[in-house]
Amino acid sequence: MATRTPMPKKVSIVMILVLLAICAFGILMLTRMLRTDAVNATVSSTRWERVVEVESYQLVTASDWAANIPADATISSCSLEYRYDSDQPTEHSEEICGTPYTVDTGTGVGQVVQDCYYRVYEDYCRYEIMGWTAVDTLRLNGTDLNAVWPAASLTDTQRVGQATETYTIWFSAGGQNYDLRTTNYSLYQQAYPGSQWELEVNQLGAVTSASPAD
């Protein structure tokens, strides 16, 4: 049996010192990035956007493992596909074995062994079922402080789905420009142009928090 040559002690110590230096440098950089500076800024402009999805109840096509498909779905096609590995053989499994190798039994006679596992395949199917699906996206935006939601004209088989809102505030301070994107409508409504704000800005120039100055 081949023996492994031990690593010289000096080399291992050098590697440990290098790893410690890399970790220390990483911690230092992370600490600097997390540090923020207080900045007094003025709101220069604003913008809002609100988006609403319209969903329709209709026949939809989807795919999933056969065991997960709802009972009221109509399956159109299936194929065996790899899903997971197992230590034990199961239906639709394939045995995979590695290269044989010899282990020392302690008796002076080596034993040839081989590590094996099983790749398990299961039916993955396409199916059809009635369900809600997005069919349209309504979008409104503006630069004032009074955001409104898009008006949806719905049929009997439609409903309002996911709704999202994004508000952007631009600031200026000492010749520098900053921006804050938020979903806090109450905060946005206070950002009238010319108002004074207190910002926390990280080392990458990103605003991490903002509030109107007292």
pLDDT tens-digit map of 111-170: 888 889 999 999 999 999 999 999 999 999 999 999 999 999 999 999 999 999 999 999
Q: Where do the H-state alpha helices sit in the chain? A: 9-34, 185-188
Residue 2: pLDDT band with limits 50, 70, 90: very low
pLDDT tens-digit map of 93-116: 999 998 888 887 777 777 888 889
Residue 4: predicted pLDDT: 45
Residue 5: pLDDT band with limits 50, 70, 90: very low
pLDDT tens-digit map of 55-91: 999 999 999 999 999 999 999 999 999 999 999 999 9
pTM of the predicted structure, to 2 decimals: 0.67
pLDDT at 8 over 70: no
Distance (Å, whole) CA 70 – CA 74: 9
* Residue whose tokens read 């402080």: 145
Question: Which of 16-20, 171-175, 187-191, 196-200 has the least mean pLDDT?
Answer: 16-20
Higher pLDDT, 10 or 123: 123
* 8 Å CB contact between 137 and 51: yes
Distance (Å, whole) CA 49 – CA 167: 6
Task: List for the chain the helix, strand, coil content (%; round to 5).
Answer: 15, 55, 30
Residue 208: predicted pLDDT: 92
First CA to last CA across the chain, in angstroms?
A: 77
CA angle 48, 50, 53 (to 5 degrees): 165
Average pLDDT, the chain: 89
